[in-house]
A and B are shown apart, each in its own frame.
Chain A
């Protein structure tokens, strides 16, 4: 079983995701990048699960998918409210928590 290919794929996906989260200014794209990160993790989990012939990996991946769905629901709601209030979803403009 070729574990490495999966790990490399997942690492690439993860990196793309991290790049998106850090560099993009569009809120929706940041959320999508977060999904990429989560799915990179899923690939990792499933790959290791298959590698070790244990069902635990798949189970965790399913949990992650469920949590990701909830997360994106909340995230999109926040983006929507941001847009309604400020007519923009540029994340760099939102800095009310500045110390």
Chain B
């Protein structure tokens, strides 16, 4: 019972009489928190409405979508306010479940629960379910689990979705499938909102697949062109690989929970699964298997190395789709899922107290791999796509080192500045009718002042210069690695020094490739055709809103002990979003340090300076000398140094991963499979058929000559003659009159009945 008491005290409201495992959830709460299902319902209704009536509406159904998402945003805002009140002031009953057994596993790091938060009120997530279906006595539920994470995601998804809806009315104006586009935007919003409020993993899985389908449909929006439909297929199929992992992981956890809960067959409940994992009621082997399977799903959905290859291709879709789905919301579903199932991952990968694990390593690798690829892209959207991969890697890295709040906070800030950058790139391409930075852009800062300024804000936020949003969240991740031994910046879940190095390197690379992107797009001389002009207010409006958020979003979570901010403003995001509850593991929090913040800022400035020196000084000078607008030095490092050239070739070919998948994996599988099938066909099946056939022919000959001709034929001939004679006689009673047949029928029946009576 020791472990039980520790957990119970961690979630301090565990009622004194309540026995069993405290889940950290409650069935009470205010009306808004209990009826959060209304938020996904609104866009779902608008999807159906647009589908059936969209074409008849004056604005092709877009007004319905905007209204639904707008109301959903207001509801999400009210829910957020309700949550802020609920988080600190709710004193209702907590839900407990009976558990088979607990070992003393939870004691090890249960005691430092809530370190880094002000002690006191735990958070109780508002839980509400309804029966979905019942089979064989097992009940499957559908419902909502509302905590800080869900509320934050609701806000981000509805806000970005609303802005993207408004933006799209201009961007896809006059498109041949305008109504269809808005219908799918609505369906996507509904699915994503359903995903973030999911109460159980089965529901999460369904929503996960739904957002995948919407992604597929929207990437292939202009499917008449082959590359677009190919990209859609690639995205869908790559995601299937990971979804398999999700399915297996969810199933494993279902049965594992069933074996730990005495009166239950299994459980999909997220709160129960996490609480069981935290309490040590699930075996470590089970958790490793489940966490690894779920990790595969994260790798495909959130574009982690080596299943990231679909994400850059997904840029074939319309730009608002890229901003909403492939930057701000859908691709973070994987990160969200880790954050949601953090108990499973935390115990499965033993994040507390180690210095490397699978998740942190994949995240770290992805962040560097993505950032390097962003250097060799000509297409502005692909730069941003690789940047997204890199930043998603950052989030996974942060979760891998136990910096939960940092990861979720980075998700929050990234959604705003990356959506801003994507919509900015859409605005640019709207003006120059191309995405190619090298051949069709340059010098746009004079023609497109609004786009230029918002893009610059987004860039600085992404690069992570203080005081913009990216700085705060990135710095928190670096702190959270716990790898900063100097000057007191330690105290994370382990000494992840390697991850700190990877994060630092990426910070420099990010600053450098964004400098390149900004130079190629907005500086130098215009290299395209025609007269570019600024986009309309429905495009610049959302840009400015997102840019504003990219500036201020960071202030929601200023580090604890930050001397320049009053105490009441420190760690607000972490306080309201990070659960202190039975379903959340006992993670420890690193102490922020000035030295790390200064060093990381210097690293970013170094990245900007190096890239800026190359582009703004050397390339600019070379352009002046040549009299045209150049995009790179004619005798740059790639022409001078063979090693740099090799690196460039490797990056241009995307590490040959696509070649590997198509050439080695796909061909390698289908070649041997085809050969094996051929061999089985020729040697086994054909041979058997041949032998059977030859035997049959021989037997047939004998049978024909001896039996058929003599015996059977004779009998047949005789019966034929007999039948012919009988037919000749019977013809006479075949009058063709139905009633005479009936008379015979009844007469015969009477006779037979008479015989029956006589006999019996």
Nearest CB of B to A33, in Å: 10
B131 at the interface (CB under 8 A from A): no
List chain A residues, Cβ under 8 A from B735. 95, 98-99
A21 at the interface (CB under 8 A from B): yes
B739 in complex: contacting residue of A22, A96, A98, A99, CB < 8 Å = A22
- Contact residues, B400-414 vs A (CB, 8 A): none
- The CA-CA distance from A96 to B738 in the complex, in Å, is 10
List chain B residues, Cβ under 8 A from A7. none
A97 in complex: contacting residue of B732, B736, B739, B742, CB < 8 Å = B736
A18 at the interface (CB under 8 A from B): yes
A94 at the interface (CB under 8 A from B): yes
- The chain A residue sitting closest to B728, CB to CB, is A99
Nearest CB of A to B237, in Å: 49
List chain B residues, Cβ under 8 A from A95. 735-737
A5 at the interface (CB under 8 A from B): no
- Contact residues, B714-738 vs A (CB, 8 A): 730-732, 734-738
Residues of B within 8 A of A (CB-CB), count: 12
- The chain B residue sitting closest to A99, CB to CB, is B734
Evaluate contact between B739 and A91: CB separation under 8 angstroms: yes
A92 at the interface (CB under 8 A from B): yes
Nearest CB of A to B407, in Å: 65
- Contact residues, A5-64 vs B (CB, 8 A): 18, 21-23, 30
A22/B743 contact (C-beta < 8 A), A92-B737, A95-B736, A95-B737 known: yes
B746 at the interface (CB under 8 A from A): yes
- The chain B residue sitting closest to A34, CB to CB, is B742
Nearest CB of B to A85, in Å: 16
Evaluate contact between A98 and B734: CB separation under 8 angstroms: yes
- Contact residues, A71-99 vs B (CB, 8 A): 91-92, 94-99
List chain A residues, Cβ under 8 A from B731. 99
Evaluate contact between A91 and B737: CB separation under 8 angstroms: yes
- The CA-CA distance from A61 to B545 in the complex, in Å, is 75
Nearest CB of A to B158, in Å: 55
- The chain B residue sitting closest to A23, CB to CB, is B739
List chain A residues, Cβ under 8 A from B738. 91, 94
Nearest CB of A to B754, in Å: 15
A22 in complex: contacting residue of B730, B732, B736, B742, CB < 8 Å = B742
- The chain A residue sitting closest to B734, CB to CB, is A99
A21/B736 contact (C-beta < 8 A), A99-B730, A99-B731 known: no
Nearest CB of A to B734, in Å: 3
A96/B736 contact (C-beta < 8 A), A22-B742, A22-B743, A22-B746 known: yes
List chain B residues, Cβ under 8 A from A23. 739
- The CA-CA distance from A97 to B732 in the complex, in Å, is 12
List chain A residues, Cβ under 8 A from B734. 97-99
- The CA-CA distance from A94 to B730 in the complex, in Å, is 20
List chain B residues, Cβ under 8 A from A30. 739
- The CA-CA distance from A30 to B738 in the complex, in Å, is 11
List chain B residues, Cβ under 8 A from A94. 736-738
- The chain B residue sitting closest to A92, CB to CB, is B737
A18/B736 contact (C-beta < 8 A), A99-B730, A99-B731 known: no
Evaluate contact between A99 and B742: CB separation under 8 angstroms: no
Evaluate contact between A99 and B736: CB separation under 8 angstroms: yes
- The CA-CA distance from A91 to B742 in the complex, in Å, is 12
- The CA-CA distance from A20 to B610 in the complex, in Å, is 108
Most chain A CB neighbours (cut-off 10 Å) among B731, B732, B737, B746: B737
List chain B residues, Cβ under 8 A from A18. 746
- The CA-CA distance from A22 to B731 in the complex, in Å, is 21
- The CA-CA distance from A67 to B76 in the complex, in Å, is 59
Evaluate contact between A21 and B742: CB separation under 8 angstroms: yes
List chain A residues, Cβ under 8 A from B746. 18, 22
Nearest CB of B to A31, in Å: 12
Nearest CB of B to A32, in Å: 15
- The CA-CA distance from A95 to B734 in the complex, in Å, is 10
- The CA-CA distance from A97 to B733 in the complex, in Å, is 11
List chain B residues, Cβ under 8 A from A97. 734, 736
- The CA-CA distance from A22 to B736 in the complex, in Å, is 14
- The CA-CA distance from A80 to B500 in the complex, in Å, is 89
Nearest CB of A to B750, in Å: 10
Nearest CB of A to B727, in Å: 8
Evaluate contact between A98 and B736: CB separation under 8 angstroms: yes
- The chain A residue sitting closest to B743, CB to CB, is A22
List chain A residues, Cβ under 8 A from B739. 21-23, 30, 91-92
Most chain B CB neighbours (cut-off 10 Å) among A94, A97, A99: A99
- The CA-CA distance from A97 to B737 in the complex, in Å, is 8
Contact digits for B384-414, partner A, Cβ 8 Å, 1 yes 0 no: 0000000000000000000000000000000
- The CA-CA distance from A21 to B746 in the complex, in Å, is 10
List chain A residues, Cβ under 8 A from B736. 94-99
- The chain A residue sitting closest to B730, CB to CB, is A99
List chain B residues, Cβ under 8 A from A91. 737-739
- The CA-CA distance from A28 to B38 in the complex, in Å, is 61
- The CA-CA distance from A21 to B731 in the complex, in Å, is 23
Most chain A CB neighbours (cut-off 10 Å) among B734, B742, B746: B742
- The chain B residue sitting closest to A18, CB to CB, is B746
- The CA-CA distance from A38 to B731 in the complex, in Å, is 31
- The chain B residue sitting closest to A21, CB to CB, is B742
- The CA-CA distance from A99 to B740 in the complex, in Å, is 13
- The CA-CA distance from A32 to B650 in the complex, in Å, is 88
- The chain B residue sitting closest to A97, CB to CB, is B736
Nearest CB of B to A44, in Å: 14
List chain A residues, Cβ under 8 A from B743. 22
List chain A residues, Cβ under 8 A from B730. 99
- The CA-CA distance from A30 to B737 in the complex, in Å, is 13
- The chain A residue sitting closest to B746, CB to CB, is A18
Most chain B CB neighbours (cut-off 10 Å) among A18, A23, A30, A94: A18
- Contact residues, B127-147 vs A (CB, 8 A): none
- For the complex of A and B, the 10 pairs showing the least CB-CB separation, nearest first, are A98-B736, A95-B736, A99-B734, A99-B731, A97-B736, A95-B737, A22-B743, A21-B742, A91-B738, A22-B739
Q: Would you give 7 A-B contacts (Cβ < 8 Å), ordered by A? A: A18-B746, A21-B739, A22-B739, A22-B742, A91-B739, A97-B736, A99-B732
Q: Known contacts A91-B737, A99-B731; can you find 13 more A-B pairs with CB under 8 A? A: A21-B742, A22-B739, A22-B742, A91-B738, A91-B739, A92-B737, A94-B736, A94-B738, A97-B734, A97-B736, A98-B734, A98-B736, A99-B730
